Amino acid sequence: MINTLYSEILKLKKSFFLLIILVGGLALPGLLFLGWAVQSQGVVIWNEYTYHSEFMMILVLSPVLFSLISSYVFSREFTDKTANILYCYPISRTKIFVCKLFIIYLIITVVYIIHFLGLFGGGLILKHELLTKEILLIHFKISLYSMILQFSLVPIVIFIASLSRNILVPVIYGILLVVSNFLLVASGKFKYSPFMMPGMPLINYNTKSNVEHYFLKSNTIIMAVIVFVISFIACIIYYKNTDIS
């Protein structure tokens, strides 16, 4: 199991995806910092400054970026014609699946950490209001809960990647999600879509009607569990029974 995880990390290390992970995490904070600095928009008000980058990260960049990463991890064995070698290892397909899933979760975590550090690091360089522990904790929770909800959607992308055995179809899926997210936000019906779950912590915080900070509601948690369980089981069943040739 450990050797399989290590081999997956080595594959990523030798690919261009390390650069994609770094750029994906820093792109939005970098653009926000440059835009704010060039336009001289005054003192950084943290909740306003962070909102735009967090919104674009969660609902625009993430669907495409994480679809690309997930499909790459799961489909490269077929595109590189190495699937027959991988599945000859003395390890079950289920364990291989879990190892690849863990690697994807690790990548998503790294992207969120880079984005969080880049966002507040850039803001600190600019003229800013006092950055309190409360502000940091609030946005840390938003990022943490959003990241966990992103985890629940990953098996859907994996299932699509396993069916298509290429990167293109999952990326198209990610682009369609971006369009769907914008339409749902505009229509106000975003609460009913499981694909909007990663954005709910941010939306809930910015629409709170009382002084207490809340990020997740029970219906979002239930939806996340249901989506993850169903898609995970579907992936395992397909993974164990599909022909790898």
Q: Which two tokens stand for residue 168?
A: 């293109």
pLDDT in tens, 137-150: 999 999 999 999 99
**Do 29 and 53 meet the contact criterion of CB atoms below 8 Å apart?**
yes
Q: DSSP string spanning 166-218?
A: SSHHHHHHHHHHHHHHHHHHHHT-GGG-GGGGGGHHHHHHHT-SSSS-----H
β-bridge partners, 128: 44
pLDDT in tens, 86-126: 555 667 777 888 888 998 999 999 999 999 999 999 888 88
Mean of the per-residue pLDDT values of the chain: 83
Is-above-0.85 flag for pTM?
yes
pLDDT winner (highest mean) among 10-19, 73-82, 174-183: 174-183
Block residue for tokens 């950084």: 44
Domain containing 118 equals 2-8+15-241
pLDDT at residue 164, rounded to an integer: 82
Task: Taking the CA atoms of 170, 172, 175 and 179 in sequence, report the sign of the dihedral they define.
Answer: negative
In angstroms, rounded to a whole number, what is the distance separating the alpha carbons of residues 25 and 183?
Answer: 25
pLDDT at residue 127, rounded to an integer: 84
pLDDT at residue 116, rounded to an integer: 95
Please tell me the total count of domains within the chain. 1
Q: How far is CA 214 from the centre of its chain?
A: 21
**pLDDT range class, residue 220, cuts 50, 70, 90:** confident
